[in-house]
Chain A
């Protein structure tokens, strides 16, 4: 009972001394306030960016592995793959059978993509489009949003139907406000009937550097019939042709954990069978992990910066407290003569420094939560404030208050009462 109100009294005593030096207290707390507020805001921004990046990567499918053909680095002396003036590179049918034929475990299903540029022609309009020839199964591997009509089906595939599914923006440029479903459009000279319209395509399907908005999806078999097995692309302004058998293979694994096991097997398999780096294996899960690691490092750096800024704040507090102790030496002597124990003096000064940092910290939290909120609201930048991003800087601030207060407080308590009473 005695201890309880003594604690309360010592707290009030500390607050009282702080209120005597309002400007000094405010300035000291300001250092902590800025530190805490800055860290909470920076962490929120980093967490927000991290979460956003992870969402994007997850959209690629965390159980997927994407293998893509890539133009090898140009090396003319080593004329490999060059036949009849054409540059051959990338994934082949044999790669597909090697990978999906059982040597890579955990593969649940896969789809191949043959992508090429063609001209679409309709009622006098000529547009360059990206033709994606693939299997209907792709819809089960990546997310496909059908806006109207339907996606390509196994019947389209089996019957080699001249059907196509087009992206809504492309439909808009070709057909205007007319309903494109059931209409025929000439693509690469071949008449194809529009059976469906898509609102969105995942990047995995479209490929890097290509725009999803001008894509047309056709059955793989139809593509073979109409445009041939090989993807022949005449480079504008050059006589070289490029031949790519398969643009991309998208593999879906049984479970997320299988991805990381399968990826190295695929890589070594391809490495053994390709004498140049004309492919790329992209593992969304690996990228997610990488991103997480990267973000973790960022957080460590931010917290380090925070520690430094709080350290500076702490030194400021210690400095002020030491000055206060010197200034109040006489008072300390009086209190000791009136029966204050060393611990009473320590507590009195600790309360002051901890109060300074706690008040600075609490206001810092308030501002540190508001700031990201405003950034999200007015700059449309994603932010995420979680428990630890608030608690950690706050606890650090209070710890700084304690640590930077201990030395001056102990020094005050250790003063010889008689010398303190004589102090001028």
Chain B
């Protein structure tokens, strides 16, 4: 399998006071098609790591290869382009643009990719259909349930066919029923070969993933993949 993500000794130090070490030399490899859950207590650096993976932020030290590109030293403009073409984001609080309709929200990444309107619209409809919202195209986010909003966010995250889908507690704001709906959708995407990295601290959500890493104090405490390897070695 092709390697998609390679983090080498990644540090993130926030310049607050004496410096907050949010990540302390993280090493991680993720291959194409993986479904990874990042777990750990609050403040352990999960979101920080996801933001770095999503190129929303730059590491203080260390290297980050995404696909065939070293993205740890890119300029702000280049990072924007990487986010646009290679990364799909899903947030805990959906983060849809309130004054835009469902189609318009899904179109946003296509817009910044520079696709003309006439190509954007059918593509965005197609994505809405895929997440089962073909009949809500012209609704505003406020007129949708939380689960529906998160499905719009998923459609938006996938509209540019990104290399990886990043989700920071995608079910954190949803009840068990709707959160299951979203998880089913993610499972389906995974079965179709999509690479997914998801932050969660609910174990019943994490079980959907095939691999889980646990973080503590800015470091990876355990990795089920590595455990499996270790187990394999022991037996």
Chain A residues at the B interface, C-beta cutoff of 8 Å: 2-3, 5-6, 9, 13, 16-17, 20, 330-331, 333-344, 417-418, 421
- The 10 A-B pairs of least Cβ separation, nearest first, read A339-B84, A339-B112, A2-B114, A341-B80, A338-B109, A5-B116, A338-B108, A339-B83, A334-B95, A20-B99
CB-CB nearest in chain B for A21:
B99
For the complex, what is the distance from the CA of A6 to the CA of B110, rounded to whole Å? 11
For the complex, what is the distance from the CA of A407 to the CA of B97, rounded to whole Å? 23
* Smallest CB separation, B40 vs chain A (Å): 19
Q: Is the CB of B156 within 8 A of A338?
A: yes
Segment among B1-9, B51-59, B128-136 that sits at the interface with chain A: B51-59
Return chain A residues, CB-CB under 8 Å to B11. Answer: none
Pairs A–B under 8 Å by Cβ, sample size 25: A2-B114, A5-B116, A6-B114, A9-B111, A9-B117, A330-B95, A334-B96, A336-B80, A336-B83, A337-B89, A338-B83, A338-B89, A338-B109, A339-B81, A339-B83, A339-B84, A341-B76, A341-B80, A341-B81, A343-B77, A344-B112, A417-B56, A417-B57, A418-B56, A421-B91
CB-CB nearest in chain A for B153:
A334
Contact count A vs B, C-beta below 8 Å? 67
- Residue of A333, A335, A339, A418 near B113 (CB, 8 A) is A339
Query: A338-B112, A339-B109, A418-B56 in contact; A331/B97 too (CB < 8 A)?
Result: yes
- Provide the main secondary structure of the chain A interface: helix
Q: Is the CB of A339 within 8 A of B85?
A: yes
* Smallest CB separation, A4 vs chain B (Å): 9
CB-CB nearest in chain B for A12:
B117
* Smallest CB separation, A377 vs chain B (Å): 45
Chain B residues at the A interface, C-beta cutoff of 8 Å: 51, 54, 56-57, 76-77, 80-81, 83-85, 89, 91, 95-99, 108-109, 111-114, 116-117, 156, 160
For the complex, what is the distance from the CA of A124 to the CA of B95, rounded to whole Å? 102
CB-CB nearest in chain B for A3:
B114
Q: Is the CB of A17 within 8 A of B99?
A: yes
Q: Is the CB of A337 within 8 A of B54?
A: yes
* Smallest CB separation, A420 vs chain B (Å): 10
- Residue of A5, A9, A17, A418 near B51 (CB, 8 A) is A418
For the complex, what is the distance from the CA of A323 to the CA of B80, rounded to whole Å? 25
CB-CB nearest in chain A for B89:
A337
CB-CB nearest in chain A for B109:
A338
CB-CB nearest in chain A for B119:
A5
* Smallest CB separation, A123 vs chain B (Å): 90
* Smallest CB separation, A414 vs chain B (Å): 10
Query: A330-B95, A337-B54, A337-B56 in contact; A5/B117 too (CB < 8 A)?
Result: yes
Return chain B residues, CB-CB under 8 Å to A5. Answer: 114, 116-117
